[in-house]
A = this chain, B = another copy of it.
Amino acid sequence: MECVRPKDGSKLLIRKVKKEFEFTPNLDELSDLMEVSGNPSRLKILALLYRYQEACVCDIADVLELTVPAISQHLGKLKSHSLIDSRREAQTIYYFLTNHPFNKRLTTVFAGLGEW
C-alpha cells in the first residue's frame, strides 16, 4: 500500500482498505477479549484456574495479594466475557475456565510457557 497519492491505483486501494476496516466485529471481539484477559491480575487469575481447575475468591485474593472485592470485580469482568463460570458449594463459590475458543488459544499459550 503506497503512500504516494497521485497514483490512481493507490487511491483505489485506500478506498478498498478503508471499506474493509469500516466494520470489524471479529477484530472488535478479539480486541475486547485480549484487553480483558491481558490485564496483569486477570491473566494471573486465568493462569491459576488453568493450572488448578478451580478456586474461590478468597483463595485467589490470598495468592495474588489483592483484596477480595478487587478479585470479585475481576472475576465479574471475566465472567461477563464468558471466559469463566462458577459453581456454588454451600457458601463458597468456585470459579473455573469455560470452553470458550479464546480460552483454548490462551491455554495453549499457558501450556507452552512451562513456568510463569
Q: Assess the A43–B30 pair: CB atoms within 8 A.
A: yes
How long is the Cα–Cα vector from A34 to B21 in the complex, in angstroms? 21
Q: Would A1 and B38 count as touching, CB distance under 8 A?
A: no
Which residues of A come within 8 Å of B, CB atoms?
1-4, 14, 17-18, 20-21, 23-28, 30-35, 37-40, 43-44, 47-48, 52, 54-56, 58-59, 62-65, 92, 94, 105, 109, 113-116
Contact of A63 with B21 in the complex, beta carbons under 8 Å: yes
Q: Does more than half of chain A's interface fall in helix, strand or loop, or is it mixed?
A: helix
B116 and A52 contacting across the interface, CB-CB below 8 Å: no
Count this chain's copies in the assembly: 2
Q: Are A116 and B26 in contact, CB atoms less than 8 angstroms apart?
A: yes
Complex A-B, nearest 9 residue pairs according to Cβ-Cβ distance, in ascending order: A34-B38, A24-B116, A3-B56, A35-B38, A3-B92, A31-B43, A31-B40, A1-B55, A1-B52
Q: Which of A14, A34, A114 has the most CB of B within 10 A?
A: A34
